[in-house]
Structure 1
Amino acid sequence: MTALTEFQRLEAQGSWRSAPDARLREVVVAVGEATLVLSDPKSDLPLSHWSLPAVTRLNPGEMPAIYAPGGDGGDETVEIDDPLMIQAIERVHRAIATRRAHPGRLRGGLTVVAVVAMLVALVVWLPDAIIRHAARIAPPAQARQIGGAVLADIERSTGAICTRASGQAVLDWITPRLIGPDASVRVVPGPLNGVLRLPGNLYVLGGDLLEGSPGPDAAAGHLLAASLATDPGAILWQALDHAGFTAVLRLLTLGQLPPAAMRGFGETLLSRPVPRPEAGPLLAAMEQAGFGSEAYARSIDPTGQSVLPLIEGDPFRLAPPPRPLLTDQQWLALQQICAG
């Protein structure tokens, strides 16, 4: 026993009773590696072996000390009055108790570490999970409300949206034909170098695409490109991620974001390059909508060098479409949407 390493050999006289009704018998009590050995003092023959960890003192604090081989007392007992032997047995018991405490402390430490790890995981994982969940379950009306808040932030940089009724009426007429019945398009006077798609299927068109174009094909191409290149779920998630975890919790519980939640997100969108779809799907969509791709391509690169696939793949390159997107009167009204 490591608890008794200072002793080369430890023996003491004791009185052993082999059974409750047996008479006391003098024995030599010796401490072994893991046992208490009771021997006949005359012949040195072992009479009994007790496991040291199981040895129990039946009369703590009293002398002579009475020990039994188990906690229930058993049939055997030994009386010892040698202080050094008693001290040695007690030291073994203290060492055993200390060893037994370690697993408990280890388990407690591991529990604390596990709890801390779970808390850290919740702090790191939960906000993103909640935001993604909010973006996934947001009803269309709520998504449109968020899109309106983003548009209001964009207006701080581009100027207020253009509201001339005749021009907006043309947009409302052509939009379902181009990008679907649930979409809406707004025009801002500042240049956007394309079209931004916002949450709630709201599109923002820069006035530069109307004023500097000979016809509606370039603006229509940018609207189609935005509808194909931007995933509506992704843009809604980005907006909510910008708003932050606390704002999203308010959205989930109260149904609306704080007034300033989208502050700065519009500027973030304006600072990014406008996403462009692959040429193949875009050309197919343009052909279905009934207009060519060259005007759109030239609005991106007037030289045409970087957009050759769009120019060469124009579905109406060899022959004009059956009918124009807008009449001359409609196109003039749309061009003047920001006038007055």
Structure 2
Amino acid sequence: MTALTQFQRLEAAGVWRPEPGGRLHDVIVSFGDATLILRDPRSEEPLSHWSLPAVTRLNPGQLPAIFAPGDAAQDEVVEIDDRLMVQAIERVHSAIAASRPHKGRLRSALIWSAAAAGALAAAVWLPGAVIAHAARVAPPAQRTAIGLALLADMRQAAGTPCDRPAGAAVLDRLSARLLGPEGRIVVLPATMRGARALPGRIVVIGDDMIAGEPGPAVAAGHVLAADAVAADADPLEAVLRAVGIRAALTMLTSGELAAESIAGQGAALLSRPAPRPDDETLLARMEEAGVSSQPYARSLDPSGETVLTLIEADPWRSSEPEPLASEGEWLQLQQICAR
């Protein structure tokens, strides 16, 4: 400390009383390492060491100054008549006191730090929380409307959804079998290499899942995979994260999401690889829906090396599930994109 260093060589005479009613002793008062040292003037033996931060002046403004090694209740005291030494002790004591944390300042610092941390946490957490809430409370009709808006955006990259009546009727029955009455499968005239789930339980596949396939098992596997992914990661929440918190708040307050705010998202979804659920979840869905997992697995990897679990744990490996469609129905579905 600068103030202590400045006075390290300073010494002064004083009178020390070690206890109440005790005999007075002449002493030499000097500074030590953050201490006040009282020495015998003849032998220079230290008689007492006082901690400088704890030194208290018992008679401010008066001489000789009386100091104690603690508060006013201390029994041990020293009287010093040297003004320079008195000023030095008080200056060092004040410097030490100023360097201590102040409760008020510390409290203010803690309050401001907490406020700043809260603001930062809100900035990080709030958008995600609002978006998740907006997705969670969206009614089915709103979800379907957003899913259809994404589907319309996909048309620019993949063409108009296939809707030849005979094939569409078969597709409706397949949708009910795989997704339930609220689900819908849409076929686009494009190569998609998998299915994509949209808000509103809409699952989009390309006609590459149908044309040239001996049956509907491959398409069904991809539809179930996309729906399983959507059950774990809400596709509406992904849409809202892309459009941002302002659009999400607008949707919460007005019940609408402007079509222009999601422009390009459908095409972007098609450009990304189709996500896969974990094998255990998908196998459970396939067992429930009556779909063999082997055709789906082989469509991902014809060698079977990277999809061995799906092949070996096929829930319908040793038995035949109820057919998803008859041969005639499958032929009709294969013509759904024909003009």
TM-score class normalised by the smaller sequence: 0.5 to 0.7
Task: Indicate conservation of the 8 Å contact 1:165/1:337, yes or no.
Answer: no
* SS state at 1:95 partner: helix
Identity of counterpart residues, as a percentage?
38
Task: Indicate conservation of the 8 Å contact 2:161/2:186, yes or no.
Answer: yes
Cα deviation digits, residues 282-325 of structure 1 (max 9, x gap): 99659936x9987x899x59xx95479999x9x79x99987953
Residue of structure 2 in register with 1:222 after alignment: 219
Cα deviation digits, residues 121-166 of structure 1 (max 9, x gap): 5544554455455555655444333322321221221233345566
How far does residue 266 in structure 1 lie from its aligned partner after superposition?
1.6
Residue of structure 2 in register with 1:10 after alignment: 11
Task: Indicate conservation of the 8 Å contact 1:188/1:207, yes or no.
Answer: yes
How far does residue 231 in structure 1 lie from its aligned partner after superposition?
1.4
> Which runs of structure 2 are paired with 1:97-108 in the superposition (5 Å)?
97-101=97-101
Give the greater-gyration-radius structure (CA): 1
CA distance in 2, matches of 1:155, 1:184: 17
* SS state at 2:259 partner: coil
CA distance in 1, matches of 2:321, 2:5: 104
**For residues 178 and 331 of structure 1, do their structure 2 counterparts lie closer, same or farther at Cα, with a shift above 3 Å needed?**
farther
How far does residue 169 in structure 1 lie from its aligned partner after superposition?
4.0
> Which runs of structure 2 are paired with 1:132-147 in the superposition (5 Å)?
132=132, 135=135, 139-147=139-147
Residue of structure 1 in register with 2:206 after alignment: 206
**Unaligned regions of 5+ residues in structure 1, if any?**
none
Residue 225 of structure 2 aligns with an amino acid whose one-letter code is: L
How far does residue 184 in structure 1 lie from its aligned partner after superposition?
0.9
Greater shift, 195-204 or 251-260, is seen at 251-260
TM-score of the superposition, structure 1-length normalised?
0.64
Cα deviation digits, residues 228-253 of structure 1 (max 9, x gap): 35411325243333233443344445
Task: Indicate conservation of the 8 Å contact 2:229/2:276, yes or no.
Answer: no
* SS state at 1:185 partner: strand
**Unaligned regions of 5+ residues in structure 2, if any?**
none
**For residues 89 and 190 of structure 1, do their structure 2 counterparts lie closer, same or farther at Cα, with a shift above 3 Å needed?**
same
Residue of structure 1 in register with 2:290 after alignment: 288
> Which runs of structure 2 are paired with 1:110-259 in the superposition (5 Å)?
120=120, 122-124=122-124, 126-128=126-128, 130-132=130-132, 135=135, 139-162=139-162, 167-207=167-207, 212-213=211-212, 217-218=215-216, 221-229=218-226, 230-232=228-230, 233-236=232-235, 237-259=237-259
Residue 89 of structure 1 aligns with an amino acid whose one-letter code is: I
What is the alpha-carbon root mean square deviation over aligned residues?
A: 5.6
Does 2:264 correspond to 1:264?
A: yes
Residue of structure 1 in register with 2:89 after alignment: 89
CA distance in 2, matches of 1:293, 1:257: 40
* SS state at 2:220 partner: helix
**For residues 163 and 52 of structure 1, do their structure 2 counterparts lie closer, same or farther at Cα, with a shift above 3 Å needed?**
same
**For residues 101 and 323 of structure 1, do their structure 2 counterparts lie closer, same or farther at Cα, with a shift above 3 Å needed?**
closer
Residue 67 of structure 1 aligns with an amino acid whose one-letter code is: I
Residue 225 of structure 1 aligns with an amino acid whose one-letter code is: H
What is the number of equivalent residue pairs in this alignment? 321
How far does residue 3 in structure 1 lie from its aligned partner after superposition?
1.3
> Which runs of structure 2 are paired with 1:282-321 in the superposition (5 Å)?
288=290, 306=303
Residue 290 of structure 2 aligns with an amino acid whose one-letter code is: Q
CA distance in 2, matches of 1:125, 1:67: 60
CA distance in 1, matches of 2:87, 2:75: 24
TM-score of the superposition, structure 2-length normalised?
0.64
How far does residue 87 in structure 1 lie from its aligned partner after superposition?
1.8
CA distance in 1, matches of 2:15, 2:297: 107
Residue 187 of structure 1 aligns with an amino acid whose one-letter code is: V
